[in-house]
Amino acid sequence: MEKEFKLNLKNNIKELNNSRKVKVFTFIISSGIYKTYTSPVREDTKIITTGVVSSKIDFLKLLNLSEFKLINYFFVDIKIKNNSNHNKKLLNFFQNQKNFFYFNPTDLTVESVLQYLSVKNDYILNNILILGTGNIGSKLSIKLYEFGHNIYFTKRNRRLGKILESYIDQNFKKNHNTVKLINIKKNNIEKFDCIILCTTKKNLLSSLNINLFKGTKLIIEVGKNNLSKTLIKKLHEQKMEILRLSITNNLLGFLNTFIGYIKNEMPKIGRKKYKNSFIISGGFYGLYGDIVVDNFKNPKKVWGVADGNGKFIKSINNKKLEKKLLK
């Protein structure tokens, strides 16, 4: 198993190193993973990426930092940062390098589900059942409720489930739709148009009678091993659409946006004296009279004059000021 992992990793890194694109390596911690594996090589016109997915930080001992010398950026699961022991091991591994950043891969999964349900509008998904409301399931419950769906969800800890139910009901605009914590054993599964599986419980639905899925149009699995091979076969025979959505588009989009921000936007944030005035850009909160420009390092455009309270002084003629300041 370890030998196979190292071989796959070596091949993926080689593919990245042979590319002229920006090279990105990701570290993702995921519960329910029984063995550490390498994620597939993904790429677009600008970026090429691969990574490691594991249930624990111990996979670091299988890696050699020298293999990653051509990698431009590392993106690390935020769950590692939130565990002080894991984060210490990670920082030791990187040996104080500055080219790594934290991110939340579960948000990419959530966005993939939301995008699919938004685009796939030939379904009338009035009632959605979300099985498991941890990080991903909770976020989906909130977002899909905001979209106007009736949301029914399960949670092993019913006290926390009631808190989530109350939070959604009280804090988000209600358009006559429902949010409710349920017990799947006591509810008729036929009434749900869509079932989203967000747990790590193996073969979660396999004990249910296949006839109970007659009213279900779509099943999306974002958890791990929730469906048995037998059940999947039976559902396919019923022409059921079963999906495990890819995060490729969202991952590449996120990486492009983040790296673009580092390269293009971060350098614009600042303030300096320019001629007889102070200029600011990139969202820097200016003092009264500071001139807001496109780039304080090399100004080409004037956007306005700060009023010292986060807004512009309205009476200023930007064109005249730009001509005078940048001549």
pLDDT in tens, 149-185: 999 999 989 999 999 999 999 998 767 899 999 987 7
Question: Are the beta carbons of 75 and 53 closer than 8 angstroms?
Answer: no
Instruction: Please check whether residues 197 and 237 belong to one and the same domain.
Output: yes
pLDDT of the residue at 123: 57
Instruction: Please check whether residues 131 and 241 belong to one and the same domain.
Output: yes
pLDDT of the residue at 160: 96
Tokens, residue 124: 């009338």
pLDDT of the residue at 136: 94
Q: Show the domain range for 118.
A: 107-245
Q: Which of 103, 118, 142 is the last residue of a domain?
A: 103
Question: Are the beta carbons of 302 and 325 closer than 8 angstroms?
Answer: yes
Tokens, residue 66: 């020298």
Which residues have C-beta within 8 Å of that of residue 94, sequence separation ≥ 6?
65, 74, 100
pLDDT of the residue at 227: 82
SS3 category, 256: helix
Instruction: Please check whether residues 81 and 129 belong to one and the same domain.
Output: no
User: Is 256 a member of any domain?
Assistant: no
Instruction: Please check whether residues 74 and 175 belong to one and the same domain.
Output: no
Query: Helix crossing, 158-171 with 135-146: angle to 10°?
Result: 30
pLDDT of the residue at 208: 67
Cβ burial, residue 137 (10 Å; 0-12/13-18/19+): buried
Which residues does the chain have with pLDDT short of 50?
none
pLDDT of the residue at 11: 94
Q: Which of 52, 72, 103 is the last residue of a domain?
A: 103
Instruction: Please check whether residues 21 and 59 belong to one and the same domain.
Output: yes
User: Is 263 a member of any domain?
Assistant: no
Q: What's the pTM? A: 0.86
Q: Which of 110, 6, 116 lies closest to 62, judged by CA? A: 6
Q: Which of 254, 290, 257 lies closest to 272, judged by CA? A: 290
Alpha helices (runs of H) in the chain, residue ranges in sequence order:
2-17, 78-81, 84-94, 105-119, 135-146, 158-171, 229-237, 248-260, 318-325
Instruction: Please check whether residues 218 and 122 belong to one and the same domain.
Output: yes
Tokens, residue 4: 């196979």
Check residue 204 and give left, alpha or beta (phi > 0: left; psi -120 to 50: alpha). Answer: alpha
User: Is 262 a member of any domain?
Assistant: no
Q: How many domains, in total, are found in the chain?
A: 3
Distance of CA 164 to the CA centre of its chain: 21
Radius of gyration of the chain (CA): 25
User: Is 250 a member of any domain?
Assistant: no
Q: Which of 234, 247, 235, 127 lies closest to 189, judged by CA? A: 127
Distance between CA atoms of 41 and 39, rounded to whole angstroms?
A: 7
Distance of CA 66 to the CA centre of its chain: 29
Instruction: Please check whether residues 35 and 125 belong to one and the same domain.
Output: no
Instruction: Please check whether residues 155 and 99 belong to one and the same domain.
Output: no
User: Is 64 a member of any domain?
Assistant: yes
Q: Interior CA angle at 101 toward 295 and 55, to 5°? A: 160
Cβ burial, residue 294 (10 Å; 0-12/13-18/19+): middle
Instruction: Please check whether residues 34 and 76 belong to one and the same domain.
Output: yes
pLDDT of the residue at 115: 93
Instruction: Please check whether residues 29 and 141 belong to one and the same domain.
Output: no
